[in-house]
Chains A and B, each alone.
Chain A
Amino acid sequence: MTRNVSICAMAQIKNQPAIWQHRFQGMLMECFESIMEQTQVTFDMDTGLRNVVTCSDDVFDARTISDAAVTDVVGAHFRGEEKVAQDGISALGYAMACILSGHDDLILVMGHCKESQSESRNMCTNLSFDPFYSRPLGLDYLNAAAFQARAYMEETGLTDAHLADIVVRSRQNGAHTRHARENEQVTAKEVMASPLVADPIRQMHHYPVTDWAVGFLLCCEERAHEFTDNPVRLTGFGSCMDSYFLGDRDLTAHFALKKACARAYTMAGITDPEKELDLVELNDACAYQLPLWAEGIGITGKARGPKWMEAGGMDKHHVNLSGGMLNGNPLMLGGLARAAYGFTQLQGTAGINQVTGLQRALAHGTTGAAGQHHAVLILEK
């Protein structure tokens, strides 16, 4: 029997620069209680929640086996719990697989990350590199991204002015999104005057330090009505891992993102993404990544990112109406934030930026230096 999977509920706290008043357990607790209240889901071992999938990172939590510290506040005590330690969109993919396989009817997905806890997130991402070669040379996600930004700008003619437009638009959209990080509105001139942090990436081109937590209740489609009148179906998922060593990769070639999309599009029956996607949420930790990933998912052609932007592609394809990761989501949760926004849009509760007649959305997540891993999720009304 072929099954379908729906998201029945989503709960999040506001993205904030530093949630000093709560432990990450407290952040998760708010999301957990909201999901319980929205759905009245139980922990009955026959009909309720038997399994929880969490997303967190040991280094950001400064605690090895970071999931062990949160099982109590995500209702995982005395039942199954499994952790995803890469972008949380993979946790949604994993939860889908649990349900599609018939292993479970219901899965709770909970993710948290408190970037403000570490003195430097670059020190954390430096630890993702090998200790012999890349780490002593000072690589972290930011300067790995700078390599990619430089390569992309050289290839396509993307300019500092294009990047400024992306930042200005991101902050405008972020201001219209509930639970988004509150940032100052800026002009293109101000963006271009912000200091270079890793040439060509300026401070405002890079997402700000953010704390956040989120939860989703996934259910097999036939039981979704028990928990919501307004479910959103998950019809496709694909992921792909590229080379670990930065030097092995063509940084603008989209190898992993294209593979991930091909799998998700096949599953969802999409043949022409440019026409068949009504809303796109891309995991843009840095401004240059928005047009780069847009090429990768196939809503514009290879090396056409700047031209696509100039032709109004970002608004035409409804890309990152949430403000994107660039407006502020923590690492690990960029993809979950994209899926959360796609969910609100498909439910019709996105507020000022609500798109009408929406049928299908794509949410994208990426993990690792300069997009080593990519995953995409297709959500449908």
Chain B
Amino acid sequence: MTEKTTAGLVADIFATMESRVIPEGVDGITANYGYIITGPGGGQWTVCVADGRVTVVEDLVTPDVTTTCANDDWIAITLGKLDGMTAFSSGKLKVTGDMGLLVAAAGFFEKYQPPLAEITVADIFATMESRVNPDGVQGITANCGYRITGDNGGEWTVCVADGKVTVLAGIKDPDVTTTCADTDWIAITLGKLDGMTAFSSGKLKVTGNLDILSTAARFFKKYSPPSAGPEEAPEELIVLKQVLSIPQTFATGPVMGHFLNALKEKRILANQCPECQRLQIPPREVCAECVVRCKEFVQIGPEGIISTPDVAYYASPDPLTGETRETPYCSCHFLLDGCKDHETMWHELKASDIPRAERGVRVRPVWNDTLTGSVTDIKYFEIIDD
């Protein structure tokens, strides 16, 4: 896409958003989405979604999430030529604030249709010499004058002499002169209005040798508006989207399986290396460092402290459902009672405890009502209030 045609496109994308809202897409969502689009034609906008209504403001207004992106990339994303997630992963699109909100935003709007670039009468005449149809002008010598009225109009003379065509500004010794409004002339050129119909209805007036005009229809090859690009569109390169899925049955074995079974009794087990004495949570068949089988199990916790907290603001969508878990969520390494150094257990912290997630804070597991022998039998750990 050329610079000429992208000018103003970013502004148009935002200006048309309110008219493109999909009601089900924004249903139940209240958030302000800020956009900083850099480069020529860029700017700052806020898309305010509130109870199914969308207002676009040309400024940043208390955004909950802000997307920063170059103008060309933003246009490509809007036109579906660049995948938003790919742009994010590759750093073309930067996000600050609540990333989880962006996942829903993909369903807010109907597809954007870029406006056709402006077609001018001047461009139609300017491109005539390059569009000459040699067979159509062969053996013809005539001057055809055109008086195009309206804001977009002007006067031109198409001089045909022995197969050569010259377009001159102004009316010069015409054998026939056509008078027509600018909009009608554009419509005739694009094939949207039939020349004979225009003549019959009086939209097109002719003085001079009318016979010449009947041959003029074959003088030129088809006019391509500036936005249509090359006459032959490139072949569409197909991409296939598939989900790979093979049902599996995973054995847990006597080590991982023993750990999972203990969870059913609300007990957390580690296993201990007979040589270096370190604990492994979850237990594994072997101590990789000492290359020796670990057979001794030790009950640990269930209370402990936060060793390392980590808050995730963006959750990867489930490829099968497209759904994402709620964000933010907090994963922690917990150092349970009876463990030391790196002998930590990785699990989740209760979401409402995230503001207080700090190293050294005491925690306890919260168990699900139904225990199945899976790592999610522990719903999460929560901070113990004094």
Q: A29 and B285: CB pair below 8 A?
A: yes
Which listed residue (B246, B252, B255, B287) contacts A119, Cβ 8 A? B246
A107 to B107, CA, bound (A): 55
Q: B240 and A131: CB pair below 8 A?
A: yes
Q: What 1/0 flags go to A27-40 for Cβ under 8 Å of B? A: 00100010000000
Q: What 1/0 flags go to A116-128 for Cβ under 8 Å of B? A: 1111100110010
Q: What 1/0 flags go to B216-251 for Cβ under 8 Å of A? A: 000000000000000000000000101010111111
Give the size of the chain A interface in residues (CB under 8 angstroms).
29
Per DSSP, chain B at the interface is loop
Q: B246 and A59: CB pair below 8 A?
A: yes
Whether a CB of chain B sits under 8 angstroms from the CB of A196 is no
Chain A residues near B293 (CB-CB < 8 A): 29, 33
Whether a CB of chain A sits under 8 angstroms from the CB of B338 is no
Tell me the chain A residues, 9-23 only, with Cβ under 8 Å from chain B.
19-23
Tell me the chain B residues, 244-299 only, with Cβ under 8 Å from chain A.
244, 246-256, 284-289, 291, 293
Whether a CB of chain B sits under 8 angstroms from the CB of A230 is no
Whether a CB of chain B sits under 8 angstroms from the CB of A245 is no
Q: A22 and B251: CB pair below 8 A?
A: yes
How far, in Å, is B231 (CB) from chain A's closest CB? 29
Whether a CB of chain B sits under 8 angstroms from the CB of A71 is yes
Q: B251 and A73: CB pair below 8 A?
A: no
Report the nearest A residue to B289, measured CB to CB. A77
Q: A23 and B252: CB pair below 8 A?
A: yes
Whether a CB of chain B sits under 8 angstroms from the CB of A75 is yes
Task: With A23-B256, A75-B291 as known contacts, state yes or no: A117 contacts B286, CB within 8 Å.
Answer: no
Q: B248 and A119: CB pair below 8 A?
A: yes
A89 to B24, CA, bound (A): 58
Task: With A25-B253, A26-B255 as known contacts, state yes or no: A119 contacts B247, CB within 8 Å.
Answer: yes
Which listed residue (A20, A62, A72, A124) contacts B288, Cβ 8 A? A72
Q: Which of B242, B248, B251, B284 is the most central at the interface, judged by chain A CB atoms within 10 Å of its CB?
A: B251
Report the nearest A residue to B287, measured CB to CB. A72
Report the nearest B residue to A75, measured CB to CB. B291
A22 to B249, CA, bound (A): 12
Which listed residue (B244, B246, B253, B289) contacts A22, Cβ 8 A? B253
Chain B residues near A131 (CB-CB < 8 A): 240, 242
Chain A residues near B252 (CB-CB < 8 A): 23
Chain A residues near B285 (CB-CB < 8 A): 23, 25-26, 29, 72-73
Report the nearest B residue to A62, measured CB to CB. B248
A131 to B251, CA, bound (A): 30
Chain A residues near B240 (CB-CB < 8 A): 131-132
Tell me the chain A residues, 295-322 only, with Cβ under 8 Å from chain B.
none
Task: With A75-B291, A119-B246, A120-B246 as known contacts, state yes or no: A29 contacts B251, CB within 8 Å.
Answer: no
Per DSSP, chain A at the interface is loop
On chain B, which size bracket covers the interface?
20 to 34
Q: A26 and B246: CB pair below 8 A?
A: no
How far, in Å, is A180 (CB) from chain B's closest CB? 22
Chain A residues near B291 (CB-CB < 8 A): 43, 75, 77
Chain A residues near B249 (CB-CB < 8 A): 20, 116-117, 119
Report the nearest B residue to A77, measured CB to CB. B288
Report the nearest B residue to A23, measured CB to CB. B253
Task: With A25-B284, A26-B255 as known contacts, state yes or no: A123 contacts B289, CB within 8 Å.
Answer: no
How far, in Å, is A25 (CB) from chain B's closest CB? 5
Which listed residue (B242, B248, B288) contacts A71, Cβ 8 A? B288
A19 to B291, CA, bound (A): 23
A116 to B250, CA, bound (A): 9
Which listed residue (B246, B256, B284, B289) contacts A62, Cβ 8 A? B246
Tell me the chain B residues, 293-325 only, with Cβ under 8 Å from chain A.
293
Q: A72 and B246: CB pair below 8 A?
A: no
Q: Which of A72, A118, A119 is the most central at the interface, judged by chain B CB atoms within 10 Å of its CB?
A: A72
Q: B246 and A118: CB pair below 8 A?
A: yes
Q: A22 and B288: CB pair below 8 A?
A: no
Q: A124 and B246: CB pair below 8 A?
A: yes
Q: A21 and B250: CB pair below 8 A?
A: no
Q: A22 and B248: CB pair below 8 A?
A: no
Report the nearest A residue to B244, measured CB to CB. A127
Q: A117 and B250: CB pair below 8 A?
A: yes
Tell me the chain A residues, 47-106 only, with Cβ under 8 Å from chain B.
59, 62, 71-73, 75, 77-78
Task: With A29-B293, A75-B291 as known contacts, state yes or no: A19 contacts B251, CB within 8 Å.
Answer: yes
Report the nearest B residue to A26, measured CB to CB. B253
Report the nearest A residue to B250, measured CB to CB. A117
A73 to B293, CA, bound (A): 9
How far, in Å, is A319 (CB) from chain B's closest CB? 34
Task: With A21-B254, A33-B293 as known contacts, state yes or no: A118 contacts B247, CB within 8 Å.
Answer: yes
How far, in Å, is A11 (CB) from chain B's closest CB? 15
Report the nearest A residue to B247, measured CB to CB. A119
A69 to B353, CA, bound (A): 33
A29 to B251, CA, bound (A): 15
How far, in Å, is A337 (CB) from chain B's closest CB? 21
Q: B251 and A21: CB pair below 8 A?
A: yes
How far, in Å, is A292 (CB) from chain B's closest CB? 29
Report the nearest A residue to B248, measured CB to CB. A62
A32 to B84, CA, bound (A): 47
Task: With A25-B253, A77-B289 as known contacts, state yes or no: A123 contacts B284, CB within 8 Å.
Answer: no
Extra contacts besides A77-B289, A119-B247, A123-B246 (14): CB < 8 Å: A21-B253, A23-B250, A23-B252, A23-B253, A23-B285, A25-B286, A29-B285, A43-B291, A62-B246, A62-B248, A62-B250, A116-B249, A117-B249, A120-B246
Q: Could you give 10 example pairs across A and B, Cβ below 8 Å?
A: A21-B253, A22-B254, A23-B251, A23-B285, A62-B246, A71-B288, A72-B287, A117-B250, A117-B251, A118-B248
Which 4 A-B pairs rank lowest in CB-CB distance, beginning with the nearest? A72-B288, A77-B288, A119-B247, A23-B253
